């Protein structure tokens, strides 16, 4: 009698365990599939107007920094090597971010340009056309000084925009990029000020 009850109890327990395991497998697969697709969708849609403005304004800002760096590097070996190394570093950091910003805007179904990005030099830290011409036409020696002076202002503008994104942005990836910009570019501003003093 006792043995039969124990056997029956074990059989019921085994059946329950098997049933629960099968149930969790079947629902686990479907829920993880829907979960991953809905989480990626919600991650893509989890943004606000500040995130959009940050991406739309940082995009031309970064593009101009890369353009300035290209102008300096085109001057050749006459430019101070520390400054050329910095220009290469800025290009290496900001080029992938340009791609990421573009990807976000497309994913959010937002234009990569807005009324903000058309504001040109009135956007924080942006160089005017004449500033860019001055850099382009400067001698190798003068270009290093000009590049540092302009890039310090450029970085300060980017840091200001990034700080606003950290405070008001909603998209976690965009906020993470903004924090990275604040950190790296603040460090580079100090580095450039030191370089400028030693030229």
State pLDDT tens for residues 40-70.
555 556 999 999 999 999 999 999 999 999 9
Bin 138: left if φ > 0, else alpha if -120 < ψ < 50, else beta: beta
CB atoms within 10 A of CB 174: 26
Give percent of the chain with pLDDT exceeding 90: 68
Average of per-residue pLDDT values in the chain: 82
CA of residue 121 relative to chain centroid, distance = 22
**Which residues, other chains included, contact 50 with Cβ-Cβ below 8 Å and sequence gap of 6+?**
164, 165, 168, 169, 170
pTM: 0.75
Cα 35 to chain centroid, rounded:
25
pLDDT digits (tens, 9 = 90+) for 77-90: 999 999 999 999 99
When pLDDT is cut at 50, 70 and 90, the band that residue 74 belongs to is: very high
């Amino acid at each position: 009698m006792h043995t039969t009850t124990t056997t029956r109890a074990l059989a019921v327990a085994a059946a329950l365990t098997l049933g629960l395991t099968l149930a969790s497998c079947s629902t686990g697969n479907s829920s993880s599939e829907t979960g991953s697709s809905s989480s990626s969708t919600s991650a893509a849609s989890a943004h606000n107007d500040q995130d959009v403005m940050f991406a739309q304004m940082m995009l031309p800002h970064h593009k101009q920094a890369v353009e300035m760096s290209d102008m300096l590097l085109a001057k050749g070996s006459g430019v101070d090597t520390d400054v050329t190394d910095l220009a290469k570093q800025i290009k290496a950091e900001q080029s992938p971010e340009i791609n990421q910003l573009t990807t976000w805007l497309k994913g959010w179904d937002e234009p990569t340009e807005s009324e903000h990005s058309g504001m040109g030099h009135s956007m924080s830290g942006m160089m005017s056309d004449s500033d860019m011409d001055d850099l382009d036409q400067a001698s190798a020696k003068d270009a290093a000084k000009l590049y540092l002076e302009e890039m310090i202002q450029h970085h300060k503008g980017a840091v200001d925009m990034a700080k606003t994104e950290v405070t008001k942005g909603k998209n976690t990836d965009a906020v993470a990029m903004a924090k990275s910009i604040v950190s790296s570019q603040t460090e580079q501003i100090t580095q450039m000020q030191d370089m400028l003093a030693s030229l």
